A and B are shown apart, each in its own frame.
Chain A
């Protein structure tokens, strides 16, 4: 089975940096996804990490430590439109079952 833990809610101000953590326990780990979901919309893909380290993609970066079962999503230069839920999804091997954490709701204020 899988155990995924994220903070429920975070707040930050426009222009700031925020780090959203995710810890997981899963059998046969094979990479971790981050998705963004705005209220009332479907999730959209942000990043995928399979090796340890930091992957940077514009204002968003994602970090993975396989040995610690830990990942984080780093959002820089926050904008109001970044207010959304951020979902962590470790992928296991086998049937590639895609299971999500409960998500972190980020509220960006002016």
Chain B
């Protein structure tokens, strides 16, 4: 059974803290994505990675960074968490071929207080 696993389901952090959200996939997928989802705004792409150590900015990268040291793991980093980063964060992975579906993790609901 294919799997994308996010390290936490719920997380509460304080303003200014450095936050790490981890995502691991066991399907040997090349592409990995981080999204945030907010009511009325849909899924917005933060960053994606198409290979180890390779990354591309999505539509809303400000305030975030990412790390992909191993193929199976893609980390999202909030350098200094702020209350406007309170959101649901979703990780996804896909193979390189064009018609492959994306598999999503279960999501991490982050609250910054």
Secondary structure dominating the interface of A: loop
B64 CB, min distance to chain A CBs, angstroms = 16
B26 CB, min distance to chain A CBs, angstroms = 16
Given A42-B90, A42-B105, A42-B106, do A99 and B98 touch, yes or no (CB 8 Å)? no
Cα distance, A98 to B102, chains bound together (Å): 9
Cα distance, A96 to B33, chains bound together (Å): 11
**Residue A60 lies at the interface, judged by CB distance under 8 Å to chain B:** no
Contact B43 A87 (CB under 8 A): yes
Cα distance, A59 to B59, chains bound together (Å): 34
The one of B40, B48, B104 that contacts A43, using a Cβ cutoff of 8 Å:
B104
**Residue B94 lies at the interface, judged by CB distance under 8 Å to chain A:** yes
Interface string of B85-113 (1 = CB under 8 A from A): 00000101010101101101111000000
Contact A96 B45 (CB under 8 A): no
Given A43-B43, A102-B40, A102-B41, do A96 and B99 touch, yes or no (CB 8 Å)? no
